[in-house]
Amino acid sequence: MCGIIGYIGKQQASPIVIDGLRRLEYRGYDSAGLAVLADGKLATRKRKGKIDEGLAVLHKQSPVTGTVGMGHTRWATHGLPTDENSHPHLDQSGRIAIVHNGVIENYDSLRKKLEAKGHTFKSETDTEVLAHLIGERYAALEKAGHIKENAATHPLAQATKDALKDAVGTYGVVVISEMHPGVMVGARRGSPLIVGIGNDENFLASDANAIVNYTKRVIYLKDYDVVTLWEDNFKMETVSDNSGSYQISDIEFDAEAADKGDFDHYMLKEIFEQPQTVKNALRGRMDFEESTAKFGGLNMSVAELRAIDKIVITACGTSWHAALVGEYLIEEMAHIPVEVEYASEYRYRNAPIDKNTLCIVITQSGETADTLAGLRESKRRGHTVLSICNVVGSTIARESDGGIYLHAGPEIGVASTKAFVSQVTALTLFALMMGRIRMLSNRRGTQILKALEAVPGQIQKILDQNDEIRRIALKYKDCHNFFFLGRQYNFPVALEGALKLKEISYIHAEGYPAAEMKHGPIAMIDENTPTVVVLPTDALYEKTYSNLEEIKARKGPTVAIATEGNTHIAEKVDDVIYVPETWECINPLLAVIPLQLLSYHIAVARECDVDKPRNLAKSVTVE
């Protein structure tokens, strides 16, 4: 969840670190800090609050210079957001500094052992315990006379490895020390960390966004990897003292893709990028000749795909909503039963799964802890696991048996928008492919492909209504409760609309299948509780319209997401947003766009921090 960047080279470290932290602030923003080796001595600056309100001001008042440094943006786990709990943390001697993402689960017992040896702690964090533990192991190497710069394993790396052998939990950690001013050490287990390779300079970062301005050549560390960096070299090992293997990759996107451009917020930029992200998800995957979809990375034969009797999809948050859409798609097109599981629950359940079950994991970041655990549990049981993922080289992408990359580009806004649309696009293509393998007609396949081909232009038509959607948002910005309703394909869209509003505006909102309102939630309806009804002209239009009438009868304000040409609905609801006509199975790709814009404009009107909503972080890498 938190953000890390480290630099070692010939340039001044502080400006690079602070720039990288700004690009990582969406990963954590309770506090920020940096440590720099200035004339061979550790200098730290850290403060509670956002970077430009805290760390940047502090560093301007009291700058530090040096060519080796690291920084951190924090999302609090152990201990309140305070200056003392901010990273970096020092060891007992004050000669070693670390920044750390993840959770050291046995930190309490380690802390007690260290306190018994005379260690004193300045924070409540598990990270400071890890810093002290590394310092303790380094002191043991010193006492034994094993501090040699030319040793097979650098002593700072050895002390880090020795400490991590006793630490239970997850970590992406960077270590620097006064004793070795030309060295930086990084290690990873369960929390992402990448090496950036430059010209006479190297980097460590939790996310490629932090370093894409400086290099596009990266190594994605695997669990238990330990890397030692010099300005002109690096060495890869593992915690268990083995040599580490690695592969150098290229970052897919340019620095400009991670900038806001002319938009006020990243979220708005990413909403407006969706015509292009759908094109990216479709590119090279539509086969009109065979009326099907094709993928290059599934690593499964047609025979293996045809033998699938059941599919289990695991995901979290917005990706879980995309998975629900996928359930409808696959069951309708391919007649394969699908179960959608919260990854956080699936990893602990002893769910009976037949041998011919395919498991699919969906994730934007490719690092979500619960989804990764679900993947590993499925593989442990011998099931083939495919991933739908946006980040090339991420842990989930690497550990899957095959998968589908979204190619949506970086998503900086904490509230996911374009990733959801890309995921649903990929699921639609996958469902089409599975349907054509099994029973879907050529004619129906062609219809779906043509409908998908039209989606980017149709999304643009909805985006062109941005000013009207903003006007509607201003009407309801002061409400305290919302309902979102939909049926069949549009039920997950209702869930996603409610989540977006909750995430960024802090208004309580619930999503329901429309018919479920009368089974309890309708008791909440009054003249101050708006209901947004996803109401396309489809097979269940009349049923959903009847549910809307029940709300109107109780004086509830209503907003309809309706199909173009439906003038009748405008006479029955307070406000209407039109989406272009399409097939029922394609409608989620269109209906979600006005819900994203509605939530965005309500949040802006309420003066909320849209890109960095309180208590949330972009990538949930701790359980």
Cα separation, 417 vs 341, in Å, equals: 21
Cα(390)–Cα(196) distance, integer angstroms = 19
Report, as residue numbers or ranges, the catalytic residues: 2, 618
Residue 542 DSSP class: H
Please state, in angstroms and rounded to a whole number, the distance separating the CA atoms of residues 25 and 286. Answer: 37
Full DSSP string of 54-110: THHHHHHHS----SEEEEEEE--SSS-S-TTTSSPEE-TTSSEEEEEES-BTTHHHH
- CA distances to 69, 72, 110, 158 from 114, rounded to whole Å, are 27, 25, 6, 19
Q: Tell me which residue of 552, 254, 615, 282 sits closest to 427, measured CA to CA.
A: 282
Neighbours of 56 (CB within 10 A): 17
Q: Is the dihedral of CA 596, 602, 604, 606 positive or negative?
A: negative
Q: Which H or E run contains 313?
A: strand 310-315
Q: Is the dihedral of CA 492, 497, 503, 508 positive or negative?
A: negative
> Over 228-286, what HEC string results?
EEECCEEEEEECCCCECCCCEEECCCCHHHHCCCCCCCHHHHHHHCHHHHHHHHHCCCE
67 CB-near residues (< 8 Å, 6+ apart): 7, 8, 9, 10, 11, 12, 13, 37, 231
Which is it for the CA torsion 466, 471, 475, 478, positive or negative?
Answer: positive
Give the helix/strand (H/E) hosting 181.
Answer: none
Kindly list the distances between the CA atom of residue 408 and the CA atoms of 88, 205, 211, in Å, as whole numbers in the listed order. 33, 21, 19
Cα 222 to Cα 375: distance, rounded to the nearest angstrom:
16
Question: Tokens 């060891």 appear where?
Answer: 91
605 is written with which tokens?
A: 């009107």
